[in-house]
Amino acid sequence: MSDLFQGLIQALTLIFNLDPDLYSISIRSLQVTLSATIVASLIGIPFGAWVAISVFRYRSLVIIIINALMGLPPVVVGLIVYVLLSKSGPFGVFNLLFTPTAMIIAQVLIILPIVASVSHRTIRMLWMEYRDFFVSLNASRWQIIVTLIKDAKRSLITASLAGFGRGIGEVGAIMIVGGNIDHATRVLTTAISLETSRGNFTLAMALGVVLIFLAILINLLIHLTIKSKYEKIDDRM
């Protein structure tokens, strides 16, 4: 309990003293996870919507695979990305291993199934409700996907936030492909792991407090932005 209290005090001290290492690590953590969340959302939401409204032979199998990938161990993802980006791998020529780009790629693979699965379920419910309406309008598949995504954007933002929550706390895959290099690829989760292995539990706890604070702050900012936007729409109506 004392470690928790001391960690909280040290976290506040680091924040208010504008510790350069803390801010560097925190900014890098947000850059990596936000980038991965945006990329995963741009891919996962349209793909989930397409699966929701489409009928094809192996549709059930695709849904099963998407749901199964939600539980894919991050260490396995890190290993796969490592092999692909290593010097002997097919993408080794790009020299991406142990860079923030490699970390983003790993996080995209982790976040993508979550976003795609939640998007599929959300869009599927809307599709079952409005299918006859779209059929009567003879709307194209692309028009249906765009319309349903717009209608379900609040729920889809929640899907992206769920992916963000998974990514911001990731350590296994990030450690493998990023290497936890100081001032290069070290992020909050890998720094926590490092300080814990050193026995510096107070600093590790302080970094954990900062990580939780950042996750809550991002979710709060997005929530307030959405709430403000919809309040303006309600006022106009």
Confidence at residue 3, expressed as pLDDT on a 0 to 100 scale: 61
3-state secondary structure at position 101: helix
Number of domains within the chain: 1
Confidence at residue 237, expressed as pLDDT on a 0 to 100 scale: 52
Confidence at residue 143, expressed as pLDDT on a 0 to 100 scale: 93
CATH number, domain of 118, equals 1.10.3720.10
* 97 in Cβ contact with 86 (< 8 Å): yes
Confidence at residue 233, expressed as pLDDT on a 0 to 100 scale: 53
Q: Which residues contact 202 (CB under 8 A, 6 or more apart)?
A: 3, 6, 7, 10
Q: How far apart are CA 78 and CA 179, in angstroms?
A: 11
Confidence at residue 231, expressed as pLDDT on a 0 to 100 scale: 57
Per-residue pLDDT of the chain (237 residues; tens, 9 = 90+): 566 677 778 777 877 887 788 889 999 999 999 999 999 999 999 999 999 999 888 999 999 999 999 988 999 999 999 999 999 999 999 999 999 999 999 999 999 999 999 999 999 999 999 998 998 888 889 999 999 999 998 889 999 999 999 999 999 999 999 999 988 999 999 999 998 888 888 888 888 888 999 999 998 988 888 777 665 655 555
Confidence at residue 223, expressed as pLDDT on a 0 to 100 scale: 83
Structural domain of 90: 2-236
Q: How far apart are CA 223 and CA 58, in angstroms?
A: 37
DSSP string for residues in 153-167: HHHHHHHHHHHHHHH
Confidence at residue 19, expressed as pLDDT on a 0 to 100 scale: 79
Confidence at residue 174, expressed as pLDDT on a 0 to 100 scale: 94
pTM above 0.75, yes or no: yes
Confidence at residue 104, expressed as pLDDT on a 0 to 100 scale: 97
